[in-house]
Amino acid sequence: MIDLLKSNGITSFFTSLVSSAAQNDTSGEIGVSSLIDTWIVVRELEEDLTKKRIRGIFIVKSRGTGHDSDVHKLILSDDGINLMPMDSESTGIANKEKKVGKNVSEGQKLTKQDKGE
C-alpha cells in the first residue's frame, strides 16, 4: 500500500502506538524503515531533577535530507505546537541554539504561515 501511495505522489502519514514496555523492541522496525522516507518518534520522557513527565520528539531517519537527530521537547498547548531544546535538567547537557528546520528555530511557535497554510 505504501508503494502504491508513493507511486501516485500521495503524501501519507502513518502512526503506531507502542506500549512503554515495548519501546526498546526493534523487531518490527527493519521492514518499516525500508518503506518510509521519514521516521519521527514521540516518546514520554522524565526530567532528571523534577521527575516531571514530558514529551520528547526526534527524527530516526529522513531519507535525502539533512536533519537533526537530537531529542527535543514537544509542547502541545492552546498556543499550538512548540519545539524546545532539552535543557540541562532533562539531558544533563547545556542548552545550545540549533535550527530545527529551514524556517523554524527551536522555541519558535509553528504558525499557520510556517506550516504553509
Instruction: Tell me what percent of the chain is helix, strand and coil, each rounded to the nearest 5.
Output: 15, 30, 55
Indicate the pTM of the whole model. Answer: 0.59
Tens digit of pLDDT at every position of the chain (117 positions): 888 998 999 999 888 887 666 555 555 566 777 888 888 888 888 877 788 888 999 998 898 888 888 999 999 999 999 999 886 555 443 444 444 444 444 444 444 444 454
